[in-house]
Amino acid sequence: MLTLSDKILIGVFLLLSGLSFLALAVFRGAGQTVVVEQDGKVMARRSIAVEDTLRIEGPLGVTTIRIAGGRARVLDAPCPQQLCVKTGAISNAGAMVVCVPNRVVVRVEGHSKDGVDAVTR
């Protein structure tokens, strides 16, 4: 049986967990650039604000990527399970869609790739 102290402790834990997820979503921010890699090589780098359709050739065939409305998504891919297509659109910095069988990675970068992530003392 849970005591009052246990219930308060669980409530505080749930509140802090929820606030941390909210803070992560707020501070992550919107991305600025879509980077498309095939087998580790950068094939395209486009502004997320400009509409474009990219076709990237991989070992299995062509992966089609659409950038529109400040978001990027894989429209079509030759992979059997279509997980990259089912992932949907991405827009936040750090988000990515990966097509492992075709070796294609679509990721969103933020303002500065070389900026300081954290400072420790």
Question: Has residue 5 been placed in a domain?
Answer: yes
Query: How does pLDDT run across 30-42, given as a tens digit for each residue?
Result: 678 999 999 999 9
Q: Which residue has the tokens 């990219």?
A: 54
pLDDT at residue 20 above 90?
A: no
Same domain, 21 and 59: no
Query: How does pLDDT run across 81-111, given as a tens digit for each residue?
Result: 999 999 999 998 889 999 999 999 999 998 6
Question: Has residue 114 been placed in a domain?
Answer: no
In terms of residue numbers, what domain contains 83? 33-109
Same domain, 53 and 72: yes
The three-point CA angle 9-15-17 to 5° equals 100
Q: Please report, for residues 5, 26, 31, 43, 49, the alpha-carbon distance to residue 35 in angstroms, rounded to integers and kept in the order given.
A: 50, 22, 11, 8, 13
Question: Has residue 117 been placed in a domain?
Answer: no
Question: Has residue 98 been placed in a domain?
Answer: yes
Residue-level pLDDT at 63: 96
Same domain, 61 and 9: no
Same domain, 95 and 39: yes
pTM: 0.69
**Average per-residue pLDDT for the chain:** 88
Supply the DSSP string of 97-117, one letter for each residue: EEETTTTEEEEEE-S-TTS--
